[in-house]
Amino acid sequence: MESENRPFFVDSEVARLKRVMLHRPGKELERLTIDNKDDLLFDDILWVEEAQKEHDAFAEMLRDDGVEVVYFKNCLAQILRDEEVRSALLDEVLALEALDVPLSEALKRFLMEMPGSDLAEILIAGITKKETQALLGDLNSLVLRVANANDFFIRPLPNLYFQRDPYVFVRDGVIISVMTFSARRREPLYARYIFEHHPYFKGITMIFGGETTDTYPYNIEGGDVLVLSEDTVAIGLSQRTSPGAAQIVGRRLAQRVGIKNILAVDIPKARTYMHLDTVFTMVDRDAFTIYPGIRNVLGVWKLTYDAGGNLAEITRFDDLGEALKRTLHLENIRFIETGGGDPVAAARDQWNDGTNTLSIAPGKVVTYRRNVVSNQCLREHGIKVLEIRGAELGRGRGGPRCMSMPLLREELKNS
């Protein structure tokens, strides 16, 4: 079956993009304050209305290029119409919030009666003590009595517009992430429920995240996973993805979707480098954009698996380019340096997600307009660059790739 006849299939980073999952920023971003932004993993507070305009323009650009846009919130709202699914998900959500029995039971009874779209809004945007009391009145709940008016009983998920991180599609399967920080651990929970219960994803292969052992501290996040070819996946060993998880995922990828090679790329464990895709992304069959400050500090290992998921060989490479050439069977590799290689321009553009490109076809990418030097450098190397505004969206520390999860690409040989 050709990939375009399937609802989901991804076997490369650069083949023509046909379908993508996005989340439009919403009320959850209005929850950010100076006091809670650090706990919610933000460096700044966003102007929400402007961020929504920027995101809408991003989605429209993709549609203009023939990409179908699917929204995460709509998928969540649809599965919440099912009473059994709603009940089970609420049990897990409320347990994660460590509420006491009177509060949890009363809140669940109220939420069970809400329309699916309204419940999806609360599950994403959260609910405070003040809002809960307005709905439920007073309760014999110690948690309720102790909490301050603006404390959250269901925490908001302001990072959800970075759809790359909670899950990642590889061929006809999906890796459900295990997030490092508690602020994001409900995101993959919602994703798992969608992929298990939404008819759109019927028959999907659960590669990782569906078993009871697929949990903390085996952390893995989608921004560290790059699908380089039909048989090769790169996994960043970062602040947010552990080597143990990478090897388990490698084994599952071999067993369940036929991936033979994992390139494990060890990067510095710091927020500046956050995920592999903040310093390294694929922009054409033989071309990669890379932050020059990372080149000399990378560790690269190739893990080769047999069809049964057994690790047949592990090889250390001293150079990322050599690892890519040998693994992808390419004569030459083109590295396009962020900021054109200038240390100051590179550092500025890397902080502004200049390396976080979204490929929508071989040699065609979406970037933030603000990364002027890096965008010009891409064009000089023959890459077609489509620019979007990102003054507000970028404050969350993520670019066009971070904001999007490809569900369907053409097979690379057909692109």
DSSP assignments along 333-365, one per residue: -EEEEGGGG-HHHHHHHHHTTTT--EEEETTEE
Are 292 and 374 contained in the same domain? yes
Are 328 and 281 contained in the same domain? yes
At residue 216, the 3 state secondary structure works out as coil
Which pair of structure tokens corresponds to residue 233?
């996946």
Per-residue model confidence as pLDDT tens for the chain (415 residues): 445 577 899 999 999 999 999 999 999 999 999 999 999 999 889 999 999 999 999 999 999 999 999 999 999 999 999 999 999 999 999 999 999 999 999 999 999 999 999 999 999 999 999 999 999 998 999 999 999 999 999 999 999 999 999 999 999 999 999 999 999 999 999 999 999 999 999 989 999 998 989 988 999 999 999 999 999 999 999 999 999 999 999 999 999 999 999 999 999 887 777 799 989 999 999 999 998 878 888 999 999 999 999 999 999 999 999 999 999 999 999 999 988 877 777 777 676 777 899 999 999 999 999 888 899 999 999 999 999 998 899 888 889 999 999 999 998 876 6
Are 246 and 306 contained in the same domain? yes
Q: Is residue 8 part of a domain?
A: no
pLDDT at 253: 97
Are 189 and 229 contained in the same domain? yes
Q: Is residue 42 part of a domain?
A: yes
β pairing state of 287-290 and 334-337: parallel
Catalytic residue list: 402
pLDDT at 1: 41
Are 82 and 69 contained in the same domain? no
Helix and strand counts by DSSP (H, E) for the chain: 13, 19
Are 249 and 123 contained in the same domain? no
Are 230 and 243 contained in the same domain? yes
Total structural domains within the chain = 2
pLDDT at 339: 82
Are 293 and 231 contained in the same domain? yes
Q: Is residue 3 part of a domain?
A: no
Of 135, 157, 179, the last residue of a domain is 157
Other beta carbons within 10 angstroms of residue 215's beta carbon come to 11
Q: Is residue 7 part of a domain?
A: no
Are 58 and 107 contained in the same domain? no
Q: Is residue 102 part of a domain?
A: yes
Of 106, 138, 157, the last residue of a domain is 157
Are 67 and 40 contained in the same domain? yes
Are 365 and 239 contained in the same domain? yes
Chain segment 350-364, per-residue pLDDT in tens: 767 778 999 999 999
Q: Is residue 2 part of a domain?
A: no
Residue 388: give the domain boundaries: 15-74+159-410
At residue 87, the 3 state secondary structure works out as helix
Are 396 and 253 contained in the same domain? yes
Q: What is the 3-class SS of the chain, one letter each residue?
A: CCHHHCCCEECCCCCCEEEEEECCCCHHHHCCCCCCCCCCCCCCCCCHHHHHHHHHHHHHHHHHCCCEEEEHHHHHHHHCCCHHHHHHHHHHHHHHCCCCHHHHHHHHHHHHCCCHHHHHHHHHHCEEHHHHHHHHCCCCCHHHHHCCCCCEEECCCHHHHCCCCCEEEEECEEEECECCCHHHCHHHHHHHHHHHHCHHHCCCEEEECCCCCCCCCCCECHHHEEEEECCEEEEEECCCCCHHHHHHHHHHHHHHHCCCEEEEEECCCCCCCCCHHHCEEEEECCEEEECHHHHHHCEEEEEEECCCCCEEEEEEECCHHHHHHHHHCCCCCEEEEHHHHCHHHHHHHHHCCCCCCEEEECCEEEEECCCHHHHHHHHHCCCEEEEECCCCHHHHCCCCCCCCEEEEECCHHHC
The CATH number of the domain where 124 resides is what?
Answer: 1.10.3930
Q: Is residue 304 part of a domain?
A: yes
Q: Which amino acid is at 18?
A: K
pLDDT at 47: 94
Of 133, 157, 181, the last residue of a domain is 157
